[in-house]
Amino acid sequence: MITLRAPAKVNLRLRVLGREQSGFHGLETLFCAISLADEIRVARRDDGEVELVVDGQAPTALPEDNLVVRAARAYAREIGEAGGFAIHLYKRIPSAAGLGGGSSDAAATLLALQALCDQPLDARRLLRLGAGLGSDVPFFLCGSPLAWAWSRGERLLALPPLESRPVLVAHPGTPMPTPRAFQILAESRGAGFVPGAAVLDSGGLGDWKALRGLAVNDFGEIVAREIPGVGDALHAIRHAGAHIAMVAGSGSAVFGVFATPQARDAAVPSVESLGFATWRAETLAAMPIPRPAPS
């Protein structure tokens, strides 16, 4: 049996570029993994079935629709085996929150299966398989907790991790489905929208101070407009001294990156008084690795 933590992510920068012919939008984004994590345990089954048991603190998709099951079936097809697996998923990361939970669970499943199988896939095939499951999956497979991504997120540049920083994650209780967020953004921009090319300075990626200057999320305004309390929560997080305070991905969660755990913790009461659930976390300096577990 293999066990693995599946971390959430935040986007320290998220620019949505033009809509491509595929219907998807090109992105320019900076992914950062955080310590808020689901946990996954995978064991082999002899009967060729994929069984998923979910428990934990956050609701998630039913087993048949769950990306974890789709990941396990796709992996078995790719390696050409019947692939029977028993998977246990412990959920902490809220869904439709912009935190990449479903994608991270799928990536963790693939990594656990790689560790279980005698002839694991090479990195290219694994990344391609992941990209077919969801836009954020390749990031969780790339091995670094910090990475630039372009296109749909499958073109990745893994960056050297920065020192860990305290993070506050807050969720309003209302989900924001990703397709809806993209649709509202596209409608608000209209047909005449011309995406601006960002100018990146490679020297500007080396520390938190520099990243602060890049921190922008194109979904910020629409999520604050659509989801009650988001604007106030961001204001409270900034007021408490966060260096970066943004919507997570396409929402509805928000997050703040702080200099000290004390500053982060001081923000909790004001954010919770707005009706938000909160999680104290840190940015990750390394991605979790699969470990054998007692059966």
Q: x/- site string to ligand C5P, residues 88 to 127, per CB under 6 A?
A: ----------------------------------------
Please report whether residue 152 would count as binding ligand C5P according to CB under 6 A.
yes
The residue from 11, 29, 178, 217 that contacts ligand C5P (CB under 6 A) is 178
The answer to whether residues 11 and 292 touch, using CB atoms and an 8 Å cutoff, is no
Residues 58-77 that bind ligand C5P (CB under 6 A): none
Looking at beta carbons only, is 31 or 182 nearer to ligand C5P? 182
Please report whether residue 259 would count as binding ligand C5P according to CB under 6 A.
no
Please report whether residue 134 would count as binding ligand C5P according to CB under 6 A.
yes
Please report whether residue 179 would count as binding ligand C5P according to CB under 6 A.
yes
Collapse the DSSP code of 107 into the 3-class scheme (helix H, G, I; strand E, B; otherwise coil) and give the result.
helix
Smallest distance from ligand C5P to CB 94, Å: 15
Please report whether residue 189 would count as binding ligand C5P according to CB under 6 A.
no
| Options 38, 91, 105, 136, the catalytic residue | 136
Q: List beta partners, residue 54.
A: 89
Determine the interface stretch with ligand C5P among 6-14, 21-29, 47-55, 214-222 (rule: CB under 6 A). 21-29
Which among 13, 89, 2 is positioned nearest to 51, based on CA atoms? 89
Please report whether residue 182 would count as binding ligand C5P according to CB under 6 A.
yes
* CA atoms of 239 and 286, how far apart (whole Å): 29
Smallest distance from ligand C5P to CB 134, Å: 5
* CA atoms of 208 and 215, how far apart (whole Å): 10
Total residue count of the chain as it appears in this document: 295
Looking at beta carbons only, is 145 or 249 nearer to ligand C5P? 249
Determine the interface stretch with ligand C5P among 2-10, 19-27, 81-89, 211-219 (rule: CB under 6 A). 19-27
| Options 9, 38, 105, 218, the catalytic residue | 9
b/e per residue 155-191 (b: at least 16 CB within 10 A): ebebbebbeebbbbbbbbeebbebeebbebbeeeeee
Please report whether residue 140 would count as binding ligand C5P according to CB under 6 A.
no
* CA atoms of 284 and 270, how far apart (whole Å): 25
14 to 44, 141, 150, 249: CA distances (angstroms): 38, 19, 10, 7
* CA atoms of 101 and 105, how far apart (whole Å): 6
Kind and range of the H or E element at 112? helix 101-116
Please count the residues of this chain forming the interface with ligand C5P, following the rule CB under 6 A. 9
Looking at beta carbons only, is 154 or 232 nearer to ligand C5P? 154
Collapse the DSSP code of 9 into the 3-class scheme (helix H, G, I; strand E, B; otherwise coil) and give the result.
strand
Q: Is 136 a catalytic residue?
A: yes
- Exposed, middle or buried: residue 211 (CB in 10 Å: 0-12, 13-18, 19+)? buried
Q: Are strands 254-257 and 155-158 parallel, antiparallel or unpaired?
A: unpaired
Smallest distance from ligand C5P to CB 184, Å: 11
* CA atoms of 235 and 242, how far apart (whole Å): 10
Determine the interface stretch with ligand C5P among 30-38, 159-167, 175-183, 239-247 (rule: CB under 6 A). 175-183
* Active site (catalytic) residues: 9, 136
Task: Give the footprint of ligand C5P on this chain (CB under 6 A).
Answer: 24-25, 27, 134-135, 152, 178-179, 182
